[in-house]
Structures are given as C-alpha cells and as structure tokens.
Amino acid sequence: MDSFGDTIRKLREDNELPLRTVAAFLDIDQAILSKIERGQRKPTREQVVKLAEYFKVKETDFLVAWLSDKLVYEVEDEDIALKALQVAEEKVKYITKNKGKK
C-alpha cells in the first residue's frame, strides 16, 4: 500500500534521476521534492499533473493516489475516519446522481 510519495520515489530511482533534475522540471527546490517523496509535504495538484507527464503515467492514476492521500491525511486522527469516508461516499453518489436537476 504505497503512498504517492513512495510511488514517485521508486519511479525516480528506477530511472536513476537525482532530485535536482525532477525538481527542476517541476520548477521547485529539490528540498521540497525530497519532502514530498517522504510524505512530509503534500504536492499541489499541478505538481502531480506534471509528474504524471514526466514519468509518462496516466494522469488520472496519479490524481487518484494524490487525492486519496489528502483524504487520508484529513481524517487520520479521527477515530470516525472510516465512517466519515463512507458517508462522504454516499453524499458524493447522491450529488452526482442529482447533477443538473432542480
């Protein structure tokens, strides 16, 4: 069960790229990328999109990994985490179902 950070670290290491190179492509300091890879910082949506492009991964896959990480982060110190996620799921289903109506 890898976090987004784990994923891009593996990709970067498999391609034997230094932080510097990838960070330059993202237009940020390598310190930030280092922290993102280790889960100390959350990347922005734009950075995730760029990373998908850079590593030639389906953008949607990266976005799902990133967004779900954010959700986990948001609920993780609540013991009602699971329940909240499930209720949120129902709400989203309800909302998309009634999209455009009324």
Partner DNA sequence: ACCTGTTTTGACAGATTTTGTCAAATTTAG
Partner DNA sequence: CTAAATTTGACAAAATCTGTCAAAACAGGT
**Residue numbers at the binding site for DNA (CB under 7 A):** 12, 18-20, 27-32, 34-35, 37-38, 40-44, 47
Spatial neighbors of 57 by CB under 8 A, at least 6 apart, are 11, 51
Are the C-beta atoms of residues 88 and 70 closer than 8 Å to each other? no
Q: Does 38 bind a second copy (CB under 8 A)?
A: no
User: In the complex, what is the shortest distance from the CB of residue 18 to a second copy, in angstroms, rounded to a whole number?
Assistant: 29
Query: Tokens 């909302």 sit at which residue?
Result: 95
Binding-site residue total for a second copy (CB under 8 A)?
32
Neighbours of 102 (CB within 10 A): 3
Q: Does 44 bind a second copy (CB under 8 A)?
A: no
Q: Does 74 bind a second copy (CB under 8 A)?
A: yes
Which of the choices DNA, a second copy, none does residue 89 contact, using the CB cut-off of 5 to 8 A by kind?
A: a second copy
Q: Does 85 bind a second copy (CB under 8 A)?
A: yes
Cα angle 43, 85, 77; round to 5? 65
